[in-house]
Amino acid sequence: AQRVTQPEKLLSVFKGAPVELKCNYSYSGSPELFWYVQYSRQRLQLLLRHISRESIKGFTADLNKGETSFHLKKPFAQEEDSAMYYCALSGVNSGGYQKVTFGTGTKLQVIP
């Protein structure tokens, strides 16, 4: 079974401080991993995906297969980064079908 764990429900950091939102996954194959973000009063939207290896809004995430992690990082937090962040995994389930599993999300609060 595939599982995504985001251990922190809430992460508070000061503006300008580094940010790391943790995501660990459980999956036996090669996963595809995503970070989705939901700003206040907005819809859920893609932030980045590991296969594109992009940096979006200063955020990066590296897939670490040894540690089964896909942590989201930003060197200097900005107030507009305050939002809910969801880690998601796309993989093949036991029935042979692809399935996306979301984590429970981490609320990032950037303190001015």
Partner 1 sequence: DAMVIQNPRYQVTQFGKPVTLSCSQTLNHNVMYWYQQKSSQAPKLLFHYYDKDFNNEADTPDNFQSRRPNTSFCFLDIRSPGLGDAAMYLCATSREEYSDTQYFGPGTRLTVL
Part in contact with partner 1 (CB under 8 A); list of ranges 21-29, 40-48, 53-61, 71-79: 40-48
Rounded Cα distance between 89 and 44, Å, is 15
The torsion angles phi and psi of 39, rounded to 5 degrees, stand at -80, 160
* CA distances from residue 45 to 5, 74, 83 in whole angstroms, order as listed: 19, 18, 11
The interface with partner 1 within residues 42-61 (CB under 8 A) comprises 42-46, 49
Rounded Cα distance between 89 and 91, Å, is 6
Nearer to partner 1, 64 or 93 (CB): 93
Nearer to partner 1, 12 or 42 (CB): 42
Part in contact with partner 1 (CB under 8 A); list of ranges 21-29, 37-45, 54-62, 66-74: 37-45
Q: Which of 10, 6, 9, 18 is nearest to 59 (CA)?
A: 18
By the rule CB under 8 A, 29 interacts with partner 1: no
By the rule CB under 8 A, 40 interacts with partner 1: no
- Count of positions (residues) in the chain: 112
Write out the residues near partner 1 by the rule CB under 8 A.
4, 9, 32, 34, 36, 42-46, 49, 86, 90, 95, 97-105
